[in-house]
Amino acid sequence: MKGKFKYLFTTLVALFIIFIILIFAGSNFYTDWAWFNQLGYLKAFLLMFFTNFGLRILIGLIFAVFVYINLTFTKKLFDKYFDNKDIEQDNVESLFKEQSQGFLNWISKKKLNWLYLILSIVLGFMFSSVSSELWKIVLKYFNQTPFGTTDPIFNKDIAFFVFSLPFYSFIKEMAMVLVILTIIVVGIIYFIVSGVSSFSEMKIKLPGRAKSHITVLLTLFLLLKAWDYRISMYELLYSSRGVAFGASYTDVNANLLGLRILFYIAIIVAAGLLLSLFKRNYKILAWGLGIWLVTSLIFGGIYPGFVQRFRVEPNEIARESEYINYNIEMTLKAYGLDNVNKTKFEVKDNLTRKNLDDNKNIINNIKLWDSRPLLSTYSQLQELRQYYDFQNIDDDRYTINGEYRQVMISGRELNQDLLSGQAQTWINKKLKYTHGFGVAMSPVNRINSEGLPEFFIKDIPPNISINLLLENSSIYYGEKTDDYVIVKNDSQEFHYPQGDQNVYVDYEGNGGVEISGIIKKAIFAVKFNNVKIMLNSDINNKSRIMYNRNIKERVRKVAPFLAYDSDPYIVISDGRLFWIQDAYTTTNRYPYSEPIRGVGNYIKNSIKVVIDAYNGTMNYYVIDDNDPLAQTYKKIFPEIFNDGDQMPEDIRKHIRYPKDLFRLQANLYSTYHMTDSLVFYNKEDLWNIPNENYSGNTIKMDPYYITSSLPDKEGLEFLLMMPFTPATKNNMIAWMAARSDGDNYGDLVLYEFPKDTLVYGPSQIESRIDQDSEISQKLTLWSQRGSSVIRGNLLVIPIERSLLYIEPIYLQAESGHLPELKRVIVGYGGSIVMSETLDGALNILFGEGITVDEEVLGENVDPGQKSKVDQLKEALPEDLKGLVTKAYETYQQAVQSLKEGKWQDYGDKLESLEEILQELDSISKEMTE
């Protein structure tokens, strides 16, 4: 009775545990199903789920059935033992007699059948979850798209290496594991049953049936090994043996030869093993295996090492030149660097004031606000409440009052972790404080009298001074939205603060999943481990629960097979807020292409994801129809991916070339611009990413967005730019730009400077700034007065055939976090100047002209408003106007002489300036009298 109760109790506990597991697993499945269904991607979810689940079941069944079938072959030996146990006992004379005899006495036919079945199921289950990536491999294999490019060794389309080879490799690996595992299991069984005749000699007395069984398994293993050799031939294209990545001379002329020989030897030995089954001559088995092992040793290491040592190393460049060229060609293709438009850029340094006035649109878009200190400024000026937060500041461009303007923009998200301690309640975090509100936007070049940015869009509710419409400012989905919320509840949601009061709102969109009914509430309560979802009275049948709201996690959940850029950015379109997330197709299976850790050896920015900040809807647009990986994914998931031409035109205006990709390409191109194998081998023309000084630290320069016109091109463009310097020098050797606008999106251009001409690099300009006594004294003085001097991003701005170097200077009080833009340093030719404004610095260098202050940026500015300089001139008497102009020109000439080290000329200019000032002073006194 006691035993029955114990058995019943154990059964109930086991059933309860299974029930709990099913509840949690079921809640996860349902919430994922509902989430994908709400987005319209249910077919994609079911395909991913059942492909993954089905493949695991299939692998488990194959393993279990194969093992069980092989185990049944061993039962004949047990049958003999069951018929006459005394016969078998005579065979157990080894050290293992007691253990094996005890097992044999315990076993029975019924127990043996159950034991074999359980063992097969356990092994099948263990290996059913060996790879979480298998479903991707299988789906890509059956939906592959040709690349239209072949490898240089086997002349196979790249699709074979990217799609087919991983599939074949996985099948081969699983089959070899299965066969080896089976050999081990049946071998142990034969060993236990047959015993060891003499422990000193260790001669196993295997019956003929057992020998035949193991011989068949070994034959199967050798055939799989032959297939392994065949696959290994293709794997040579990923070899790292040589000077460059990919198959080297030794790989092609020694390893490939060896693998071909081993392939045929493995097949011949396998055939010999099968032959031994009929002739009962197991010497064939021994000789075959011996030949195979010796050949493997020779061609697996000895012969390739000999070739490398005595044929390649004495004349490496001649031997490896062909394979270096393969590496260069394939790497450039894989990273989208094979169509870089190269142009010579001869620096003239002949800019005039007229040139600047003719390019005023470029001057008015020069980026004076570095996003790093600007983030602190935005936080201090525009977060407005402690629970609002700006994640980062992004560059974008808009047509503002008819002008193409580069701006800085950031979404004002609600960070629930910043709520006060007493407000950190479940109701506040899940029902009340559900969304952020609005954006802050400022032009890249404008500052007010206090050194702070002038805002195009600011405050809550949005105060907009430009011709942009923003009707819906709510941000339910963003970079800070990490927790679930429940909207359309009876308590209303906090919308935004207004003075001493708060404005509340009811959500009117279709984001989230309906949570009507007690069953749905119970499921979500289990999912999020909180019973309050079931008990809260404010949650009604129209309520919707929003989860997976973080846009970075959101896009990965829908398309986990893509890689994603680290910086999604917010845009205003059609009066609403959207996020644009760059997505990449990647693989590590592109032959000969140089691999990069964490990326693979192939990457394309073929997909743009647009996320609605209010409803959470996501649209994946394939903008590169020439990417075979993107086309393959489109075949697999047609409901996820849309053609690029379906992207709304207003959204398309804001797509930009991503920094992460450009940074990677620039680093790679610093080596792979050398397309001559000899130059590449010797690294004769290696480039570097230059250094810059930021906030007192020397760091690698980051790519930066500028709005400019490319040399010999018309019209403003939104560009991503990066300069290059030689590996051991600091002068600038070239600069690269990625285009983002219109049909030119994705085009890369490279401008190379003449190698016999000195063009200052960013670090040289930084050094010249440090060496300028006047500038360095001021920077040192400011840093000693309780302020921190932040030297912003040094920009290299090409204008016509000249270069301007511009670095903003910010001051930040040590006790505060509000950086103010106080000075702008401009370098041109041999001159470095610093002024309170960019216009002031340009006036010092080039004389007066059209100033930024004169630009009409909004309808509220009088188009007839004159510059301060013109107003001052009009206020002066006629006899003073000429002297003022002459004094200013003389001062400029003196500064230029000082910069060029012409001390005699500098002294003469100072004397002339003194005479002009004395004359001005005399006239001024006469006017006063």
The token pair at 64 is: 């279990």
Q: Tell me phi and psi for residue 204, to 5 degrees.
A: -85, 125
Residue pLDDT, tens place only, 834-850: 999 999 999 988 876 54
The pLDDT-based confidence of 483 (bands split at 50, 70, 90) is very high
pLDDT above 60: residue 868: no
pLDDT above 80: residue 314: yes
pLDDT above 70: residue 773: yes
| Amino acid identity for residue 846 in this structure | F
Give the closest residue to 589 by CA, choosing from 152, 133, 161. 161
Residue pLDDT, tens place only, 729-760: 999 999 999 999 999 999 999 999 998 889 99
> Which pLDDT belongs to residue 105?
53
Which residue in the block uniquely carries the two structure tokens 């009275």? Answer: 537
Q: How do 717-726 and 439-443 pair as beta strands?
A: unpaired
pLDDT above 60: residue 54: yes
CA–CA gap between residue 819 and residue 372 (Å, rounded): 10
pLDDT above 70: residue 405: yes
Give the closest residue to 653 by CA, choosing from 407, 457, 397, 444. 397
Tell me how crowded residue 257 is: count the other CB atoms within 10 A of its CB: 15
Which residue in the block uniquely carries the two structure tokens 């086997």? Answer: 154
CA–CA gap between residue 215 and residue 79 (Å, rounded): 22
- Extended beta strands in 548-590, E state: 563-564, 569-573, 576-587
Per the DSSP assignment, residues forming a β-bridge with 410 are 440
> Which pLDDT belongs to residue 909?
77
Which residues have C-beta within 8 Å of that of residue 457, sequence separation ≥ 6? 409, 438, 439, 440, 441, 463, 464, 465, 466, 468, 470
pLDDT above 80: residue 901: no
Tell me how crowded residue 756 is: count the other CB atoms within 10 A of its CB: 5
CA–CA gap between residue 438 and residue 456 (Å, rounded): 13
Residue pLDDT, tens place only, 331-367: 999 999 999 999 999 998 888 888 898 999 999 999 9
| Amino acid identity for residue 573 in this structure | S
> Which pLDDT belongs to residue 110?
62
Helices 97-106 and 165-194 pack at an angle, to 10 degrees, of 100
Percentage, residues of the chain above pLDDT 70: 86
Three-state secondary structure call for residue 870: helix
Residue pLDDT, tens place only, 159-181: 999 999 999 999 999 999 999 99
pLDDT above 70: residue 874: no
> Which pLDDT belongs to residue 336?
96
The pLDDT-based confidence of 323 (bands split at 50, 70, 90) is very high
| Amino acid identity for residue 919 in this structure | E
> Which pLDDT belongs to residue 848?
66
Give the closest residue to 508 by CA, choosing from 462, 461, 476, 556. 476
Q: CB of 392 within 8 A of CB of 410?
A: yes
Which residue in the block uniquely carries the two structure tokens 């063009």? Answer: 759
> Which pLDDT belongs to residue 27?
86
The 8-class DSSP code of residue 453 comes to B
CA–CA gap between residue 752 and residue 755 (Å, rounded): 9
> Which pLDDT belongs to residue 865?
39
Residue pLDDT, tens place only, 669-695: 999 999 999 999 999 999 999 998 887
Q: CB of 160 within 8 A of CB of 147?
A: no
The token pair at 124 is: 């099948």
> Which pLDDT belongs to residue 723?
96
The token pair at 474 is: 């709510």
Per the DSSP assignment, residues forming a β-bridge with 806 are 795, 826
> Which pLDDT belongs to residue 3?
59
The token pair at 217 is: 């398994």
Residue pLDDT, tens place only, 431-469: 999 999 999 999 999 999 889 999 999 999 999 999 999
Residue pLDDT, tens place only, 101-121: 454 555 555 667 788 888 888
Rounded to the nearest integer, the mean pLDDT of the chain is 87
Give the closest residue to 260 by CA, choosing from 296, 233, 241, 236. 233
pLDDT above 60: residue 204: no
Report CA 257 to chain centroid distance, whole Å.
39
C-alpha distances in Å from residue 790, one per residue of 341, 724, 793, 794: 36, 24, 10, 12
Per-position DSSP letters for 19-64, written without gaps between them: HHHHHHHHHHHHHHHHHHHHHT-HHHHHHHHHHHHHHHHHHHHHHH
Segment of 420-424, 484-488, 776-780, 827-831 carrying the highest mean pLDDT:
484-488
Q: What is the mean pLDDT of residues 877-891?
A: 70
> Which pLDDT belongs to residue 2?
56
pLDDT above 70: residue 856: no
The pLDDT-based confidence of 905 (bands split at 50, 70, 90) is confident
Report CA 763 to chain centroid distance, whole Å.
28
pLDDT above 90: residue 922: no
> Which pLDDT belongs to residue 190?
81
> Which pLDDT belongs to residue 880?
65
Percentage, residues of the chain above pLDDT 90: 64
CA–CA gap between residue 13 and residue 19 (Å, rounded): 10
> Which pLDDT belongs to residue 195?
56
Q: How do 641-643 and 618-622 pair as beta strands?
A: parallel
pLDDT above 90: residue 273: no
List, in sequence order, the alpha helices (H) in 673-772.
Answer: 677-682, 762-771
Reply yes or no: is the peptide bond before residue 628 cis, omega within 30 of 0.
no
Higher model confidence: residue 424 or residue 853? 424
Q: What is the mean pLDDT of residues 230-246?
A: 95
Q: How many helices (H) and strands (E) does the chain have?
A: 32, 32
The token pair at 120 is: 């097969």
CA–CA gap between residue 413 and residue 386 (Å, rounded): 11
Residue pLDDT, tens place only, 504-550: 999 999 999 999 989 999 999 999 999 999 999 999 999 999 999 99
The pLDDT-based confidence of 864 (bands split at 50, 70, 90) is very low
> Which pLDDT belongs to residue 16?
62
> Which pLDDT belongs to residue 891?
76
> Which pLDDT belongs to residue 94?
42
